[in-house]
Structures are given as structure tokens and as C-alpha cells.
Structure 1
Amino acid sequence: MRVTIVGCGYVGEALARLLGAQPQSHLTLTTTREQRRAELESLGNRVLVLKASDAPALQQALESADAAVLCMAPGGDRQVDAGVYAATYRSSITTVLELLPELPQLKQIVYTSSCGVYGDAAGGWVDECSPVVPRDAHAEVLVESERLLAQARSDQRRVCVLRLGAIYGPGRDLSRRFQALAGTTRPGDGQNHSHWIHRDDVAGAMAAALAGAWDQTVNVVDDQPWRVADLLDRICAAEELPPVHWSGPSADAPSLPDRRISNRRLHSLGYPLLHPTAHYG
């Protein structure tokens, strides 16, 4: 299979390593940074430096692909504004749609979205059939991008949207991420649920979507939604750090959506999680 991975960052690189181990794979990898070209060249047959909103460059990347995996992400470690989100996701998908008439051989698109599109369920369960209720401008961009991409689906082309939980893994372990909160007092009560997925399971689910010709929306989260307070208690105890304290509910504090996200569809499609619950050691 000839696959183009658009956005070979943290998860895209993991997917390239996974697919590259399969002898029949032919990989085109894209990155927005020239300095990453050398490290990616060992993982694929072709590496292109481009922005996915650049139509001629993206057409070159997709011109012979049977499948495309769109796992773009804004650059940098800090939160970016909704305009950067729109340029990363909506503009790129609009470009893909414009190019489709020139890409008759492209039979599948896999796109990584986010579970952040779901609204509040008062701690109840939501699944892929639940309504999306974006709570901010960032989530609105993600919802719009999903709806745009649905236009690419046809009798000849499958579209799979993977809604991801928060990603952790090598270099992004949970203990390191949260230990700075030890001993602090946080607003609220920490009783809202968080949803995690290991990077290797993101790559595994993307590879499974390609191999299984998935043509639907799938939540990619692990089996255990953690209450934030419980997760932080475990991390602090494991690291022998002082616990996090909570100031309690307040009318002034922003309310956070609380829902438990079901991964039943992921299991029904036959994907076995490598990391069924988030580990923090």
C-alpha cells in the first residue's frame, strides 16, 4: 500500500515506524520543518517539507497515494489560538477537498481529530453517536474540519475520523507532565473525568484503520476514564510528592465538561489496546 502521512510529528512518526516494518508499504512523509528531513528519511521512501494548505505541494505528496493519514498538529508546546487551529486543520482539509478530482487513486483518508468535540454529559457516557457540542473556538474548528472532510466520502473513497484522547508516551509521561502541580491548590474539585491514550495506541489505531478500511468515526481512548483528582493523587503518591489540594466548587471558576468517553466501537473493530489504562510510573 502506498501511504502518505501528512504531518509526521509525535504520532505521525510513530505510525511511520509501524508501517515501515511492513514490507509492502511505500511511505511518503511530510513535515513543515526542513530540519526534520534527515531524521525522517530513514523511515520512508520520500520526505517532503510542506504546509498541507499549499495545494501544489500537497498534490505532489498525494499524487500516487492509495491512502492518506492526516495527523497535522500546530507546532510548538504552548497553546495556540483558534486562528492557528483553523490554518492547521480547516485550511488543510479544504485543500484536500480541492485536490480530490486530481486524485482518483486515493481510496482512503484517515484523520486524527479530538474527543474535545464532545459536550458536557454530567459524568455520563458518550459515544460516536452523541452530539458534538464544542465549548470553545478551538473545538469549533475541529468540528467544522470533521464536517468538511465528510464531503470526501464516496462509493470509491472511505473516510475514517479518529477522535483522540489526551496523548502521552515516550517523552510525554504523565508523572513528568503533572508533578509540578504537587502541593498546589487547584480551582474546583477535580471530579471531572480525563481521557488518555498512549502514543503507540494512536499509531496502532491508525494502522488498523488503514488495514481494516475503516469508514466511520472512532473514539481512540483507553479503557479507564480517570477523575482528575484521583489521577493526580496517584501520581503524587507514586513520586512521593505532596498531594494536590482543591479549593472546591466556585461560581467564579469556569465549568469544565464532564463526560466518560466510550471506546466500545474501537474494541468492536478488533483493535487490542497495548495500554488499556494510563500508566504514570
Structure 2
Amino acid sequence: MALTIVGCGYVGMALAQQLHARRPQWPLRLTTTRQERLVELQRWAHEAVLCDATDPDQLMAALKGSRVAVLSLGPKGNRQVDADGYRRTFVDSLACLTSLLPRLPELRQILYTSSCAVYGDANDGWVDETTAPNPTPGHGDVLLESEQLLAGIQDRQVCILRLGALHGPGRVLDDRLKGLAGCERPGNGQHYSNWVHVDDAAGALLAAIDGGWSGVVNVVNDEPIRLRDLVHRSLSGQNLAPVQWSGGSTPQACSRRIRNDRLKSLHYRLLHPTLNTQSGVLPVSQVP
């Protein structure tokens, strides 16, 4: 089954490695916007190509002949803090994709990695895929608009995977949090965060391909955790000084607990059901 991954950042690369190991017979094409990454990507795929997903000719060439497209897009450089950059990356890319679909009759399945940020603030409450999105203005609005472009596709199988905050190799939480030791932070740290290991983000994508998933699926672990508790767990485990919280509500924090019941109903078994701040390595009992 021919497959293209558009965007080989943290999640796209993890999926490519899982496909290389578990579905080596599938023709796999990977895309990047950076010439210097082509040699690296060729190790994991049958073909690696340059592709700006907002360019119709480049995107058409990347998708031609593929039955499945996985869009795992991410902004470059300082776009992370620029809503206009987000729009160019996500909305413009998906608009380009939808415009090409009449010329891609063989493309039957589209998977897109979105974010739980589209839910916005739920005041500590639980949300699931039936909860109406209520994103904060800016980045969240753009992500929801991107989802809506795909939701309007009628004649293809479309699955939108809303990911929690990512951790794993290269993003080990202890390494990311140790710089907070002994610092004073604004607010009280009481808002909830929702996480997923990159192996599970990639694993859910592979399961979605195999199972023909459609609609929206939250991809998070079983452990919504208050920021304060997460930081305390990590710093105390590293014998580092605790954070001093200034008190009051945390500025601009969205607090929600994300349910993953649909993910489990689709028979996906989490490799990392809870956070392990000290390692990105699977426990021996969890190795598939």
C-alpha cells in the first residue's frame, strides 16, 4: 500500500521508523522542506522528496500514486509564535490538498495530526471528541480551521488525530523541566496538562491506517496531570530544588482533562499510559 508522509518532524519521523520496521513492504515516500534532510530520510523510505505543501505542483508530485496520505505538519523557525505562520503552514497546506483531490483518485485515506488545543479551556473539566471546540484566539483558531477543511471532504476516508503535548526521546521531560529548579513561576500551577509519548502518537497513526479510522480521535495518555504536580514529580526525582509558585491563577492557562475512550474503543493499546519523566524508553513489559 503506497503511502506518503507529508512533514517528517518529530511525529512524522517516528511514524516513518515504525513503518520501516513493521511494514517494510509498503512503498513509502517522505517529504521535507529542507534539502539537507533528504539523505537522512532516504534511510527510512523508498523515496524522499522536497515538498512545500502549499505548492500545488510539489504536493501533487509527493502524493501521486499514494493510497494514504499522512499530514504531520509543523511550522519552521519562529513560526511557533506567529499565528500568520501557523496559517501558512496548516490552513494553506490543507487548502492546497483539498484543491488537488479531484486529480488524485487513488488517494483514499487522509490522516492529519491536529492538537487538543482546539478544545480551549474547560475549567478543569473532562472533554472528549463530542465536546464542541472552543480554542483561544490565534493558534487554536488556525488549527480548528485546518480541521474544518478536512471535515468537509466527502469522498475520502479522513481521520483527524488530536494529539496531547508530546514527550519522548529528544524531549525527555526531566531534561525539559530541570531548568525550573529553584525558580519562581507565575500562578499556582494548578491547571491540567495532557501528554502523549511520541511512540503512541506514531503508533496511533499506524493503527488508524490499518484500521481505516475516520472522524476525530484524541490521542493522549491516561494521566491528565496538573502542571504543579508534574514539575514537583520531575524535580524531586532529580533531587533538585522545587519551584516557588507566586500564587493566583496561571496567566493564559487552559485547563482541561482529555478523555481517550475512543482511542481505546478502536483497540489501540497505549505503550505509555502514564508519564515517565525520567525516560523515553519502553518498560520491558510494554515492548510490542
TM-score norm. by structure 2 comes to 0.94
Q: Deviations over 1:7-30 (max 9, x none)?
A: 011111111111122133110100
Q: Which runs of 4+ in 1 moved over 4 A?
A: none
Q: Deviations over 1:40-83 (max 9, x none)?
A: 11111111111100100110111100000000101247733001
Correspondence for 1:260: 257
The sequence identity of aligned pairs, in percent, is 52
Say which is worse superposed, 103-112 or 74-83, in terms of deviation: 74-83
Correspondence for 1:40: 41
Q: Deviations over 1:104-137 (max 9, x none)?
A: 0111000000000112222110000101111121
Say which SS state the counterpart of residue 81 (structure 2) adopts: coil
Q: Distance in 2 between matches of 1:255 and 1:58?
A: 36
Correspondence for 1:17: 17
Q: Assess if the C-alpha contact under 8 Å between 2:121 and 2:135 holds in 1.
A: no
Correspondence for 2:232: 233
Correspondence for 2:284: none
Aligned length: 277
> Could you tell me which amino acid in structure 1 is paired with residue 10 of structure 2?
Y
Correspondence for 1:220: 219
Q: Assess if the C-alpha contact under 8 Å between 2:80 and 2:86 holds in 1.
A: no
Distance 1:77 1:280, change over 3 A: farther
Q: Deviations over 1:138-194 (max 9, x none)?
A: 00000000001112232xx10000000011111110011111111111111111100
Q: Distance in 2 between matches of 1:35 and 1:254?
A: 39
Q: Assess if the C-alpha contact under 8 Å between 1:74 and 1:80 holds in 2.
A: no
Q: Assess if the C-alpha contact under 8 Å between 1:29 and 1:47 holds in 2.
A: yes
Q: Which runs of 5+ in 1 are unaligned?
A: none
Correspondence for 1:275: 272
Say which SS state the counterpart of residue 152 (structure 1) adopts: coil
Correspondence for 1:179: 178
Q: Distance in 1 between matches of 2:242 and 2:257?
A: 24
Q: Which runs of 5+ in 2 are unaligned?
A: 279-288
Note if 1:123 corresponds to 2:111.
Answer: no
Q: Distance in 1 between matches of 2:223 and 2:170?
A: 22
> Could you tell me which amino acid in structure 2 is paired with residue 90 of structure 1?
V
CA RMSD in angstroms comes to 1.2
Q: Distance in 2 between matches of 1:203 and 1:153?
A: 25
Correspondence for 1:81: 82
Q: Distance in 2 between matches of 1:189 and 1:80?
A: 24
Say which SS state the counterpart of residue 159 (structure 1) adopts: strand
Q: Assess if the C-alpha contact under 8 Å between 2:118 and 2:143 holds in 1.
A: yes
Q: Distance in 1 between matches of 2:272 and 2:213?
A: 21
Q: Deviations over 1:173-225 (max 9, x none)?
A: 00111111111111111111001111111110000110000011000000000
Correspondence for 2:6: 6
> Could you tell me which amino acid in structure 1 is paired with residue 165 of structure 2?
A
Note if 1:195 corresponds to 2:194.
Answer: yes
Q: Aligned runs of 1:88-103 on 2, under 5 Å?
A: 88-103=89-104
Say which SS state the counterpart of residue 80 (structure 2) adopts: coil
Say which is worse superposed, 76-85 or 28-37, in terms of deviation: 76-85
